[in-house]
Structure 1
Amino acid sequence: LGLLPSVKPSCASLLSAGTLWLLSVIMSVYACPNICHCTDRNGVVVQCTSSNLENIPSNLPRDTVVLLLSSNRIKHIPKETFTDLYRLRELDLSHNAIDSVEVGAFQGISESLRTLDLSNNHLSSLPKDTLAKLHARVRLSHNPWHCDCSLQEVLRELKLDPETVNEVSCYTAVQEEYVGQPVIQVLDSGINFCNFHHKTTDVAMFVAMFCWFSMVTAYIIYYIKHNQEDARRHMAYLKSLPSTSHVSKDYDTASSGF
C-alpha cells in the first residue's frame, strides 16, 4: 500500500505520453493547414487555391487524395515534398510562379498520382528525371519552354494531357524557326533537337581544334622567324670578322721585313 502513491504518477505520466502520441498521430493524419479548407469525401480534399502561398504547406493530412494549390505564388518545388501523401491522386499546381522543380519532388506519389497540373507557370526546362516514373496525365501548357534536347527527353517519358498538348509551345528554341510552334507538332514532323545538340557539340570541338591548330602554327612561324633572325645576326657577325686570307697576308709581309 505504501507503494501506491509512487505508482499512480507513473501510470498517469504513461497515459499522458500515450495520449499525446495518439493525438500527434491523429493530427498528422487529419489536421488541415489553417490557410486551407479540407473536406472528407472518400479521402481528404485539401483546397488551398488563391491563398497567397509562397511555399507548399508541410502539415498536409496524410490521407489527402486531392490537393489544390493553384493561383498562389509558389516558385519552387523541393525534393520529397509530397513523400508522405501516399494516397494522392490529383495535384493542381497551375497558375503559380514555379520556375524550378527538383529531381525527386514527386518521390513517393509516382504510383498513386493520376493528374498533375503544372500549366501556367514559369518553367523553361526540367531536369531529365524530375517527372520520371510518373503514371499521371500531365499538363505543361502555357510555360516559357526552351525547346532543346533536354526537353525532348523529358517529354518522351510523359503521358501528356491530350486536351492541352498543343498548348505546350516553344518560347525559345535551339533553332529560331521553331519558336512559337507546339513542341509535339515539331517533334512529330521528324525534328530531333538532340541532333542539333550533337551538331553544336561537333562545331564547338571543331572550333577548339581550329584554335589549337592556329596557336601551334603561330608558334612554329614565330620559332622559324626567330631562328632566321638569329642566323642573320650570326652571319653578320661572321662577316664582320677579319678573313683568314687577309690575316695570312699581313703575317707574310711582317715576316719578309725580317
Structure 2
Amino acid sequence: MKYHKPNFQGPAMKGDLLWLSSMLLLLPGAGSCPEKCLCHTPTKSVDCSRQGLKEIPSELPPRTQILHLQHNYIGDVPTSAFSSTPLLRTLDLSHNALLTLAPGAFLGLGHLQVLNLTQNSLHSLESKIFQSLPQLQELDLSFNNIQELPKFQGETLSHLTRLAIQRNQLQQVRRAHLASLPSLRVLFFKDNLWKCNCHLLDLKLWLESFVYKGGITDGVICSSPDIWKGKDLLKIPYELYNTCLPLLGNGAPIETQLPDTAQQDRPHPSQRQEQVDKSQSDCELKPKARPVNLRHAVATVVITGVVCGVVCLMMLGAVIYGCTYAAVMAKGHGEPLRHANEPRKFGEEKAPLGTSLA
C-alpha cells in the first residue's frame, strides 16, 4: 500500500496564506526587532545601546515602552522620529552626538514620562520642543552646551517633577520659565556660567520660594563677578541688588504709568531699548557695592573719630590756655617790686608818710 502525503496546498489554504501576507504588509515591522538591537517582549523594552548607531533605528516594535539608545553616535533627531512607538514611556538618548533636535522630534509621544538627553552637544532648544510631551515627569539636559533654556509651556509640562541642567553654558534663567512648572520638586543647577548680576535677582527670589515650599536644589554657584565667584546665589545679601529693583524678570525696566496718562507719552521702542541698555549697564557697573550695614558702620566710625578728635583738640586748647594763664599770673605777682624802684613820673604826688605806713 502506498502512503500519500496530505495536500495542504488546496484553495482554502492558499487563501488563508494570502490573507495573512496582506495583513503583515499592512503592519510593517509588527513584531520585528531592528538589527543590532535586543527586544524583550515581556518588559516591552528595546535595547539598542552601544551599537555604533548614527540614526534612530526604523521598524521599532510598536508596543515598545522603554527604548535605550545611549552610547551611540546619533547626531540629530528628525521630526516624528518615534511615530512608530506611540506607547513609549522611557527614552534614553544620553551619551550621543546630538547637535540639534527638530521642532517636532517628539511628536506622538503623549505617554512619555522620562527623557534623558544628558552628555550630548546640544547648543539650543526650540521653544516648543517639549510641547508634545504632556505626561513628562523627568527631563535631564545636563552635560550639554545649552546657553539658554526654552520657555517651558506649563500647560503641557504640568507633570514635570525633576529637571536637571547641570554642566551647561547658562548665565541666567528667567523666573517665568520655571514658574510655569507647577509640579517641579527637584532642580539641579550646578556647574554653569552663572552671572550673579541684576538679571539673577528674580531667580534668587524664585529659588527662595521654591526651597521654602520643600523643593530640592543644588544651588546656583556664581561664576562672576569675581567678588561672588564660588558663592551660592541664595547666600548673597539683598543689599547687592538695591540698584537692580527697576528690573523685572524679563530684563525690562519697570514702567509706572498713571491711569490718565496719554498713550503718546509712552517712550518710543528705541528709547525704551536705550533705557534697558542703560539699566543693564548701570547694573553691570555696580556689582561691588558695599552692603548698607557696612556703609553705616564705616560712617559711624568716621563720625566717632571726628568727634573724638574735636574733643581732644578742645582739651589741648584748655591745657594750653591754663598754662598760659598761670604763667601770666605768676609774672604779675613780681610787678609791685619793680614799680617801687622806678622813679615817679612828672605830675605824680608823693603820698604822706603816715598814709604810706598805714
- Provide the residue aligned with 1:33 in structure 2: 34
Give 1:216-235 correspondences, 5 Å limit. Answer: none
> How many residue pairs are counted as aligned between the two chains?
185
Q: More strand per residue: 1 or 2? A: 1
Measured in 1, the distance between the counterparts of 2:57 and 2:67 equals 11
- Provide the residue aligned with 2:151 in structure 1: 153
Same amino acid, percent of matched pairs = 26
- Provide the residue aligned with 2:95 in structure 1: 95
Q: Can you list the C-alpha shifts for 1:13-71, whole angstroms capped at 9, x where unaligned?
A: 643431212334666221001110111224x2100001000000011000001000001
- Provide the residue aligned with 2:18 in structure 1: 17
- TM-superposed CA distance for 1:129, in Å, is 0.8
Q: 2:204 aligns with which of 156, 164, 189?
A: 189
Give 1:178-257 correspondences, 5 Å limit. Answer: 180-181=193-194, 186=200, 188-189=203-204, 194-195=250-251, 202=270
The answer on 1:140 being equivalent to 2:155 is no
- Provide the residue aligned with 2:45 in structure 1: 45
Measured in 2, the distance between the counterparts of 1:179 and 1:168 equals 5
| 8 A contact 1:166–1:182 mirrored in 2 | no
Tell me: CA distance 1:203–1:145, structure 2 relative to 1, closer, same or farther (3 Å).
farther
Tell me: CA distance 1:188–1:20, structure 2 relative to 1, closer, same or farther (3 Å).
same
- Provide the residue aligned with 2:62 in structure 1: 62
- Provide the residue aligned with 1:113 in structure 2: 112
Measured in 2, the distance between the counterparts of 1:203 and 1:52 equals 55
Point out which structure has higher relative CO (alpha carbons under 8 A, 6+ apart): 1
**SS of the residue aligned with 2:120?**
coil
- TM-superposed CA distance for 1:195, in Å, is 2.7
Moved more, 151-160 or 61-70: 151-160
Measured in 1, the distance between the counterparts of 2:271 and 2:165 equals 32
Measured in 2, the distance between the counterparts of 1:182 and 1:57 equals 41
- Provide the residue aligned with 1:235 in structure 2: none
| 8 A contact 1:144–1:172 mirrored in 2 | no
Letter in 1 for 2:146: W
**SS of the residue aligned with 1:82?**
coil
Measured in 2, the distance between the counterparts of 1:70 and 1:193 equals 37
- Provide the residue aligned with 1:125 in structure 2: 124
| 8 A contact 1:142–1:169 mirrored in 2 | yes
Letter in 1 for 2:204: S
Moved more, 50-59 or 28-37: 28-37
Where in structure 1 are there 5+ consecutive unaligned residues? 1-7, 207-258
- TM-superposed CA distance for 1:161, in Å, is 6.2
| 8 A contact 2:79–2:103 mirrored in 1 | yes
**SS of the residue aligned with 1:145?**
coil
How does the TM-score come out when normalised to structure 2?
A: 0.44
How does the TM-score come out when normalised to structure 1?
A: 0.59
CA RMSD of aligned residues (A): 3.6
Measured in 2, the distance between the counterparts of 1:169 and 1:192 equals 24
Q: Can you list the C-alpha shifts for 1:111-163, whole angstroms capped at 9, x where unaligned?
A: 2111000111111111111111422121111110113xxx241487756663x
| 8 A contact 2:68–2:93 mirrored in 1 | yes
| 8 A contact 1:170–1:179 mirrored in 2 | yes
| 8 A contact 1:67–1:88 mirrored in 2 | yes
| 8 A contact 1:145–1:172 mirrored in 2 | no
Letter in 1 for 2:96: N
Where in structure 2 are there 5+ consecutive unaligned residues? 1-8, 174-190, 206-246, 253-268, 275-358
Letter in 2 for 1:53: L
Letter in 2 for 1:195: G
| 8 A contact 1:169–1:181 mirrored in 2 | no
- TM-superposed CA distance for 1:85, in Å, is 1.0
